[in-house]
Structure 1
Amino acid sequence: MSPGSSGRAGGDGTPADAERFRDVLAELRADGCNLLVVGDAPRRLFTAASAGLLGGPDETRYRLLAITDASSRSVVERLPDPEAVPGSLAETTEVVNHAAPPRSVAEEAGRPEAPPLSDISEPSVADPELAGLQADLAEAMAAFDCHAGGLDPGQLRVGVDSVGALVEHYDEDVVRRCLRVVTGYVSDYDAMGHYVLTEPYGSDRADRFADEFDAVVELRAVDAAGRDHGAEERWHVPSRDLTTDWLPL
């Protein structure tokens, strides 16, 4: 589920709660938002959630993904089929490679059925204070805004995977400052940004970063027996004192 979509929700599961959550999602999409994605969940669920938040092929969107430790396959799985999207995926997508050491997502994608990535821009950046990462993301957002002739609310989707890898290589205060810069740019363009942190909701690290974001999306795997899904998400929006029920991912 992603901002702007519909579904049952709410702290008590009532129709009023569901309507309130839909209103909050609409506001997040219209005003721009930054989401922290957490959970005690398999990595594949973070990939699935990221794919949903980057948006499907139903309308023209610009996608900007910064990777630090995401696998090349997971990057491919987040992107729509280039044959299904309006316009050119190469003109509307950029992958900023901040892996250490850098590795090419396009060269490592490897799956014959995967959409080709060779035409997608993939700058590699490594810097001691994350200034290079901030600059590359800011420049890409500005370029997309120029290409679009002005981005519509929610048209630009930004992802960072993962915050945990950044904290492993940089001081936490440096990472926090970087995120504040990036989330500020996301808000300036009324974009939707999501930031992966593979930590349980309520963990010390998740709690320390949660205040930097508009909402926290919590993931979990569930037994698919007797259900039509094997993964769920729950949204926490502290500014609205709102926590949803568990929803199918």
Structure 2
Amino acid sequence: MSAGSSGNRGGDSGSDAVSDGGERFLDVLRELQSEGCNLLVVGDAPRRLFTAASGSLLGGTDERRYRLLAVTDASPQSVVERLPDPDETPGEFAETTEIVNHASPPRSVVSADRSSDPQSELPPLGDVSERRVVDPQLAGLQAELAESMAAFNRHAGGLRPAQLRVGVDSLGALFEHYDEDVVRRCLQVVTGYVRDYRAMGHYVLAEPLESDRVQRLADTFDAVVEIRAVDSAERGHDAEERWHVSDRDLTTEWFPI
């Protein structure tokens, strides 16, 4: 059992390394997945680790999923890295994946996915939809995300719990350009839609768990996922995560992303 389920590039949050309270955590995770949930992903860690965590939460290729990724400051390469290989994804990739681009200044994250590294072995994103949004008060971003979720629900004939995965990378860029109250109102709307469709939403904020902003936002989410870098030679992996579910008084052990 994992948050993201199996598969490369969009893969698997390993939970077999969770020791104390591991079974309790799996029960809570199943409940969050069945009801729909919103997760705040934080930590004092390199951006590449946030990409890995985001890819895990967007889910693998073991079953048909719908993926909606809102990009504010993520690089084109990181977008490609966190999505599964189009050739291995059940269903048409272009019908199950959408990018909402709210980057400032405006730039494509789909057509440029190979431009920075022509020798990259990562597959291109192909015909995946990229919808660019520029708006003064985040109403446009809210509307695009809501419309995309509704469209996926219609296409699926009704989404199953956790079949829709939603990601926003990152909240940091939104806080740089908008007042905190504006961002919080946007989050209230988007997280509400995520719960309505019983989806799994995650929102990247590259700040330490102890930061004032993370502490102010934590209650908005069902859980906070904290990530950190570790010594790969010592542990056999270079990144770990732990989950904080405050309303269950639950904090997991650290385990590999």
TM, length-normalised to structure 1: 0.95
Aligned residues: 244
Match of 1:7 in 2: 16
- Kindly tell me: are residues 48 and 242 of structure 1, through their superposed partners in 2, closer, same or farther at Cα, counting changes over 3 Å? same
Matched, 1:86 2:94: no
Match of 1:18 in 2: 22
3-state SS of 1:122 partner = strand
Contact 2:86 2:125 in 1 (8 A): no
Matched, 1:194 2:202: yes
Q: Distance in 2 between matches of 1:84 and 1:66?
A: 22
Contact 1:32 1:186 in 2 (8 A): yes
Q: How big is each residue's C-alpha offset from its partner over 1:3-39, in whole Å with a ceiling of 9 and x where there is no partner?
A: 6764243xxx43xx11111100100110010000000
3-state SS of 1:76 partner = helix
3-state SS of 1:236 partner = strand
Pairing partner for 2:112 from 98, 105, 108: 108
The residue type paired with residue 40 of structure 1 is D
Contact 2:42 2:207 in 1 (8 A): yes
Q: Distance in 2 between matches of 1:115 and 1:151?
A: 27
Contact 1:220 1:232 in 2 (8 A): yes
- For 1:115-130, what aligned pairs fall within 5 Å after superposition? 115-130=123-138
Contact 2:4 2:60 in 1 (8 A): no
3-state SS of 2:244 partner = strand
3-state SS of 2:202 partner = strand
Match of 1:236 in 2: 244
Pairing partner for 2:190 from 182, 196, 214: 182
- For 1:110-189, what aligned pairs fall within 5 Å after superposition? 110=114, 111=118, 112-189=120-197
The residue type paired with residue 138 of structure 1 is A
Match of 1:69 in 2: 73
Match of 1:211 in 2: 219
The residue type paired with residue 146 of structure 2 is A
Identity over the aligned pairs, expressed in percent?
Answer: 70
Deviation at 1:107, TM superposition (A): 1.9
Pairing partner for 1:29 from 29, 33, 37: 33
Deviation at 1:222, TM superposition (A): 0.5
Contact 1:3 1:28 in 2 (8 A): no
Residue segments in structure 2 that go unaligned for 5+ positions in a row: 6-13
- Kindly tell me: are residues 87 and 3 of structure 1, through their superposed partners in 2, closer, same or farther at Cα, counting changes over 3 Å? closer
Contact 1:3 1:26 in 2 (8 A): no
- Kindly tell me: are residues 107 and 67 of structure 1, through their superposed partners in 2, closer, same or farther at Cα, counting changes over 3 Å? same
Contact 2:72 2:174 in 1 (8 A): yes
The residue type paired with residue 202 of structure 2 is H
The residue type paired with residue 108 of structure 2 is S
Q: Distance in 1 between matches of 2:33 and 2:203?
A: 16
Contact 1:67 1:160 in 2 (8 A): yes
The residue type paired with residue 183 of structure 2 is V
TM, length-normalised to structure 2: 0.92
3-state SS of 2:86 partner = coil
Deviation at 1:105, TM superposition (A): 1.1
Q: Distance in 1 between matches of 2:17 and 2:79?
A: 29
Match of 1:53 in 2: 57
Contact 2:15 2:255 in 1 (8 A): no
